[in-house]
């Protein structure tokens, strides 16, 4: 038996009225975008200078240094450098550790080649990598002030680092990287023959002097390092970047006391 509705539907169809046949629903309109209050346009980001494209080593273990004398300066060439200029010439193409291929500029160090006071930091940061000079960013400005506070100018001291190439993201150099570079720093010290070395932060104290205790514990306590058969007094103090982060009166007083002690020793050595 026919369903009564079917007959009714057929009648409507004949009349051209199709309302009983459900048409597919039109797609629902897209939701109106929510109006957010207009944000101020972000200032354009500074464009970083392009780095030389160099294959980044995947890990320190995977890095194979070159064997040529430019990429890996032989120890006898380093030891035979008779001046800081000669040493820099010999090592500025160095790729002996994984930091080399990532650098923009090699940061040898700078200052008075006959300085009585030498500062040793950890390694170049972003500003130093861009300029090829040690301690030129905010930490460098503070170091300049620290040097000025003891009555000296930056040009009257020597400033160097444990590693000459910037560690990525300013991380601490690995022990292998520090070891690969340390011979260069030691030759610098032999050539400069400072009366006193001030180490800035834990890394130079650990890598150059072999002291592994925390810097907070040992800062202000005299240590010694033997370089080229000469024993040199070492005054450990905080890195200027740490002082900027912990800009308290206690930290500033501590650094001031350390630098004052170093300067007194320099003056005493000069008078002896
Ligand atoms: S950090 Fe030192 S050892 Fe490593 S590539 Fe640079 S100069 Fe050479």
When the pLDDT of each residue in the chain is averaged and rounded to a whole number, the result is: 85
Between 102 and 60, the more confident residue is 102
C-alpha angle 144-149-153 in degrees, rounded to nearest 5 = 50
At the top level of CATH, which class does the domain 66-271 belong to?
alpha beta
How many Å is the Cα radius of gyration of the chain? 33
What is the distance, to the nearest Å, from the Cα of residue 240 to the centroid of all Cα atoms in its chain? 13
Mention every residue, 6+ apart, whose C-beta is less than 8 A from residue 168.
99, 102
Gap from CA of 165 to ligand 1 centroid (Å) = 6
Q: Is 104 in the pocket of ligand 1 (CB under 6 A)?
A: no
Contact yes or no for 158/115 (Cβ under 8 A)? yes
Q: Strand 223-227 vs strand 230-237: parallel, antiparallel, or unpaired? A: antiparallel
Gap from CA of 210 to ligand 1 centroid (Å) = 20
Gap from CA of 137 to ligand 1 centroid (Å) = 21
The minimum-distance atom of ligand 1 relative to the CA of 180 is 3
**Helix or strand (DSSP H, E) at 241:** helix 240-245
Over residues 92-126, the pLDDT tens digits come to: 999 999 999 999 999 999 999 999 999 999 999 99
Report the 10 Å Cβ neighbour count for 145: 11
Q: Is 180 in the pocket of ligand 1 (CB under 6 A)?
A: yes
**Class of residue 8 by CB neighbours under 10 A (exposed 0-12, middle 13-18, buried 19+):** exposed
Gap from CA of 183 to ligand 1 centroid (Å) = 10
The minimum-distance atom of ligand 1 relative to the CA of 95 is 5
Between 61 and 163, the more confident residue is 163
Ligand 1 test: best mutation among 122, 180, 186, 207, most atoms within 8 Å of CB? 180
Over residues 257-270, the pLDDT tens digits come to: 999 999 999 999 98
pTM (2 d.p.): 0.79
| pLDDT computed for residue 271 by the predictor | 84
């Amino acid at each position: 038996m026919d369903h009564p509705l079917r007959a009714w539907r057929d009648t409507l169809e004949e009349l051209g009225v199709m309302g009983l046949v459900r048409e597919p629903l039109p797609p629902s309109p897209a939701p109106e975008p929510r109006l957010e209050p207009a944000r101020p346009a972000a200032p354009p980001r500074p464009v970083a200078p392009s780095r030389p494209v160099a294959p980044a080593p995947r890990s320190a273990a995977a890095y194979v240094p070159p064997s040529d004398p430019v990429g890996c300066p032989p120890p006898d060439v380093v030891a035979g450098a008779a001046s800081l200029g000669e040493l820099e010439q010999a090592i500025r193409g160095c790729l002996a550790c994984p930091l080399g291929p990532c650098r923009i500029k090699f940061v040898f160090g700078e200052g008075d080649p006959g300085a009585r006071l030498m500062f040793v930091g950890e390694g170049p940061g972003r500003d130093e990598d861009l300029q090829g000079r040690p301690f030129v960013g905010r930490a460098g400005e503070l170091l300049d002030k620290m040097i000025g506070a003891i009555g000296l100018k930056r040009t009257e001291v020597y400033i160097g680092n444990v590693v000459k190439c910037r560690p990525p993201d300013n991380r601490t150099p690995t022990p292998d990287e520090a070891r690969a570079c340390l011979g260069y720093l030691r030759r610098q010290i032999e050539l400069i023959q400072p009366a006193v070395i001030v180490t800035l932060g834990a890394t130079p104290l650990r890598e150059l002097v072999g002291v592994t205790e925390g810097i907070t514990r040992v800062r202000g306590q005299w240590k010694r390092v033997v370089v080229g058969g000469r024993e040199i007094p070492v005054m450990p103090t905080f890195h200027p970047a740490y002082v900027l982060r912990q800009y308290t009166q206690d930290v500033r007083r501590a650094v001031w006391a350390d630098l004052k002690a170093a300067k007194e020793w320099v003056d005493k050595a000069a008078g002896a």
